[in-house]
C-alpha cells in the first residue's frame, strides 16, 4: 500500500523518529507533531487518512485528540499507542471511535499491519458514504430504487400506466415488489388505495369483503358494511394474489369489471362505482387458464397494461443500493448504528441467486443489523447458505513469537472482537474474567489460567523498540 497520508503525534522525539522510519519505509507520507493541538489544526485543513497518536502526552491526551479529530473529520482513522497498563483505557477509546490501539514496545510489522487495516477501513467508510449519497440521489420513482436496465424499462411503462385509468396486471416472482409498483401507479391518481389480499381472506368471506353486505345477509352480519370496491370509488382497488382467487369469485369480479356494477350481499340494489383495478400475481396466468383454474375472459379484462417485475437476480446492479437502503431502515427500526458492507460481503450478495428476491434481501439486512457485533458486515457474518461462516473468527499468529507473545496477541485480538467486553472475551477464551482483568492491569502478558497475584505491579511505560 503506497501514498497514504498519516499524521503521527507524540511528545517524545525518539518515538516520532522511530515511527517516521517505519512509515516512510512503507511509502507513507508522514507528518510529525509533538504538540497535539498543532496536529489537530493540520487535520482540520484536510487531506489526512490516518492519525497515530500516543495515549498519554503532556499537553492533550490521546482520547481528547481523538474526540476533536472525529469532530473535524469522522473519516480519519485514529490509532492509539499505549503501554500494557493503559490497554483498558485504549479499549475505552475504541468505543469513542478509535480504530485500534498498538501496545509498546512497538514492532515494525505490527505498526504497518495496523495502519494498513485502518486505511482499508477508511476506504470502506468512504465507499459506503458514497453509496449512501447515491442511494438518496438515485431512484427511478419514489421508493422504487435501482438503475438496472430492466428496472428502468419497467418504470417507463409504470409511469405511462400511472397517467391513465386503465386496469393493470402486474406479474412476477414472490418478493419482487409488485405491491410497491401498484402503490406507485396509484400515486399518479386520486382517491384511496384499497388493497385486497385474495390469499389472506377465506373463500367464503372474499365476496363479502369485496362487495360488502346488508344486515342478515349471513350469520354474524348484524349491520351494513361497505365493501372494498365501494371504498375504492374514485381511487384504486389492488387485488393481490389474484391468481388463486376461487372461480366463483372470479365470475362476480368479471361482471364488476365489465359493467362497473355490483350488489352488496343480501341486497337487490345495484351500485355503480368508478374504480381503477390493479391486480398482481406470481402465477403464470396463461398456464393457469389452460389448467382450468383461472378464467380467460377475466384475464383479458385485467390485462390491459401488462407489467412484469424482474426478479432480483436479473437486476444485480441494484443490489448495493437496495442493501444500503435496508441497512438504514433496519438500523433505524432497531435503534442501531448503520453498519458498513465489506466489499467481500457485498460481492457475495451480488452473486447470490435470491430465490426470495427483495424480501429475502430485506430480511437478511435486518438480521445482520440485529445480530451484528461490529460496525462492519463481513463475509463471515452472512449465513452459511450465502457462503459465509457464521461467527467464525480467525487470528493470524506470525512465526517467531514466544508463547507469552502469542498469549498477548490472542488476548488483544479477542478484546477487539468483543469490543472491550471483558466477560465476553473471557467466555471466548475459556478463562475466568479475573484473568482478563489481570492482563489489562499488568505490565506483563499473562498465561490464561494462572492465579491472580495478590499484588499487581505499578504501571510502567516501556520505551519504543529500536530493533525495527
Write the DSSP string, 20-56. HHHHHHTT-EEEEESSHHHHHHHHHTS--SEEEEES-
The pLDDT value recorded for residue 58 is 73
The pLDDT value recorded for residue 446 is 38
C-alpha separations of 464 from 35, 104, 113, 270, 372 in Å? 19, 6, 17, 92, 36
Task: Please state the φ and ψ torsions of residue 319, each to the nearest 5 degrees.
Answer: -60, -45
Mean pLDDT of 152-162: 92
The pLDDT value recorded for residue 392 is 41
Mean pLDDT of 75-91: 78
> DSSP code of 234?
T
Mean pLDDT of 75-97: 78
**Are the C-beta atoms of 140 and 146 separated by less than 8 Å?**
yes
Q: In terms of CATH, what superfamily is 5-128?
A: Response regulator (3.40.50.2300)
The pLDDT value recorded for residue 178 is 95
C-alpha separations of 211 from 198, 237, 258, 305 in Å? 13, 12, 15, 24
Mean pLDDT of 354-359: 94
Distance (Å, rounded) from C-alpha 309 to C-alpha 288?
19
Task: Please state the φ and ψ torsions of residue 77, each to the nearest 5 degrees.
Answer: -90, 135
Nearest alpha carbon to residue 182 among 276, 273, 255: 276
The pLDDT value recorded for residue 457 is 37
Lowest pLDDT segment from 42-51, 135-144, 307-316: 135-144
C-alpha separations of 385 from 352, 369, 379, 390 in Å? 9, 18, 12, 10
Mean pLDDT of 223-235: 92
The pLDDT value recorded for residue 273 is 93
Judged against a pLDDT cut of 50, whether residue 465 lies above it is answered with no
Mean pLDDT of 380-400: 66
Judged against a pLDDT cut of 60, whether residue 141 lies above it is answered with no
Judged against a pLDDT cut of 50, whether residue 459 lies above it is answered with no
Domain residue ranges of the chain, discontinuous segments joined by +: 5-128, 149-309, 313-386
The pLDDT value recorded for residue 85 is 56
Query: At which residue does the C-alpha cell 502478558 appear?
Result: 445
The pLDDT value recorded for residue 448 is 39
Judged against a pLDDT cut of 80, whether residue 228 lies above it is answered with yes
Judged against a pLDDT cut of 70, whether residue 461 lies above it is answered with no
Coil, strand or helix at 125: helix
Judged against a pLDDT cut of 80, whether residue 89 lies above it is answered with no
The pLDDT value recorded for residue 394 is 60
The pLDDT value recorded for residue 237 is 96
Judged against a pLDDT cut of 50, whether residue 389 lies above it is answered with no
Judged against a pLDDT cut of 50, whether residue 189 lies above it is answered with yes
Percent of the chain predicted with pLDDT > 90: 42
> DSSP code of 337?
P
The pLDDT value recorded for residue 419 is 60
The pLDDT value recorded for residue 406 is 79
Coil, strand or helix at 191: coil
One CATH from 3.40.190.10, 3.40.1050.10, 3.40.50.720, 3.40.50.300 for 149-309 = 3.40.50.300
Distance (Å, rounded) from C-alpha 278 to C-alpha 273?
15
**Are the C-beta atoms of 257 and 277 separated by less than 8 Å?**
yes
- The pTM assigned to this predicted structure is 0.62
Mean pLDDT, rounded, of the chain:
83
Lowest pLDDT segment from 74-83, 356-365, 369-378, 449-458: 449-458
Mean pLDDT of 18-31: 91
Is there a shared CATH topology between the 5-128 domain and the 313-386 domain?
no
Sort 453 into a burial class: Cβ within 10 Å, 0-12 / 13-18 / 19+.
exposed
The pLDDT value recorded for residue 458 is 36
**Are the C-beta atoms of 54 and 11 separated by less than 8 Å?**
yes
Beta strand 305-308 with 168-171: parallel, antiparallel or unpaired? parallel
Query: At which residue does the C-alpha cell 475466568 appear?
Result: 432
Q: Which CATH architecture has domain 313-386?
A: Orthogonal Bundle (1.10)
> DSSP code of 265?
B
The pLDDT value recorded for residue 455 is 37
Coil, strand or helix at 353: coil
Distance (Å, rounded) from C-alpha 114 to C-alpha 118?
6
Amino acid at each position: 500500500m503506497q501514498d497514504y497520508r498519516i499524521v503521527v503525534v507524540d511528545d517524545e522525539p525518539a518515538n516520532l523518529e522511530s515511527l517516521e522510519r517505519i512509515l516512510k519505509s512503507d511509502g507513507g507520507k508522514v507528518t510529525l507533531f509533538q504538540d497535539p493541538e498543532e496536529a489537530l489544526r493540520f487535520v482540520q485543513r484536510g487531506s489526512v487518512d490516518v492519525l497515530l497518536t500516543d495515549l498519554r502526552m503532556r499537553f492533550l491526551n490521546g482520547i481528547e485528540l481523538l474526540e476533536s479529530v472525529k469532530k473535524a473529520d469522522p473519516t480519519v482513522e485514529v490509532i492509539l499507542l499505549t503501554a500494557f497498563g493503559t490497554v483498558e483505557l485504549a479499549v475505552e477509546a475504541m468505543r469513542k471511535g478509535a480504530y485500534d490501539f498498538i501496545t509498546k514496545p512497538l514492532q515494525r510489522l505490527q505498526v504497518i499491519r495496523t495502519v494498513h487495516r485502518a486505511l482499508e477501513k477508511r476506504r470502506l467508510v468512504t465507499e459506503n458514504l458514497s453509496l449512501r449519497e447515491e442511494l438518496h440521489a438515485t431512484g427511478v420513482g419514489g421508493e422504487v430504487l435501482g438503475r438496472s436496465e430492466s428496472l428502468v424499462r419497467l418504470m417507463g411503462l409504470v409511469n405511462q400506466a400511472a397517467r391513465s385509468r386503465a386496469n393493470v396486471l402486474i406479474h412476477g416472482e414472490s418478493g419482487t415488489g409488485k405491491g410497491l409498483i401498484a402503490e406507485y401507479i396509484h400515486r399518479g391518481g386520486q382517491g384511496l388505495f384499497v388493497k385486497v389480499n385474495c390469499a389472506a381472506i377465506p373463500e367464503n368471506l372474499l365476496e363479502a369483503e369485496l362487495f360488502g353486505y346488508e344486515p342478515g345477509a349471513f350469520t354474524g352480519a348484524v349491520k351494513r358494511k361497505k365493501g372494498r370496491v365501494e371504498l375504492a370509488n374514485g381511487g384504486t382497488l389492488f387485488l393481490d394474489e389474484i391468481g388463486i382467487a376461487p372461480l366463483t369469485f372470479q365470475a362476480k369480479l368479471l361482471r364488476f369489471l365489465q359493467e362497473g356494477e355490483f350488489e352488496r350481499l343480501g341486497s337487490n340494489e345495484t351500485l355503480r362505482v368508478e374504480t381503477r383495478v390493479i391486480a398482481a400475481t406470481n402465477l403464470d396466468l396463461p398456464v393457469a387458464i389452460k389448467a382450468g383454474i383461472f378464467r380467460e375472459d377475466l384475464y383479458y379484462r385485467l390485462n390491459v397494461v401488462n407489467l412484469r417485475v424482474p426478479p432480483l437476480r436479473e437486476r444485480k446492479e441494484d443490489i448495493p443500493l437496495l442493501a444500503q437502503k435496508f441497512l438504514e431502515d433496519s438500523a433505524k427500526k432497531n435503534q442501531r448504528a448503520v453498519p458498513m458492507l465489506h466489499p467481500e460481503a457485498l460481492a457475495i450478495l451480488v452473486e447470490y441467486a435470491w430465490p426470495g428476491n427483495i424480501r429475502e434481501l430485506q430480511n437478511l439486512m435486518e438480521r445482520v443489523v440485529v445480530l451484528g457485533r461490529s460496525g462492519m458486515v463481513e463475509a463471515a457474518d452472512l449465513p452459511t447458505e450465502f457462503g459465509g461462516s457464521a461467527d467464525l473468527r480467525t487470528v493470524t499468529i506470525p512465526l517467531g513469537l514466544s508463547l507469552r507473545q502469542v498469549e498477548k496477541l490472542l488476548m488483544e485480538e479477542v478484546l477487539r472482537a468483543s469490543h472491550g467486553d471483558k466477560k465476553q472475551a473471557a467466555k471466548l477464551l475459556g478463562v475466568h474474567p479475573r484473568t482478563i482483568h489481570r492482563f489489562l492491569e499488568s505490565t506483563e502478558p499473562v498465561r490464561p489460567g494462572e492465579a491472580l497475584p495478590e499484588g499487581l505491579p505499578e504501571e510502567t511505560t516501556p520505551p519504543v523498540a529500536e530493533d525495527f
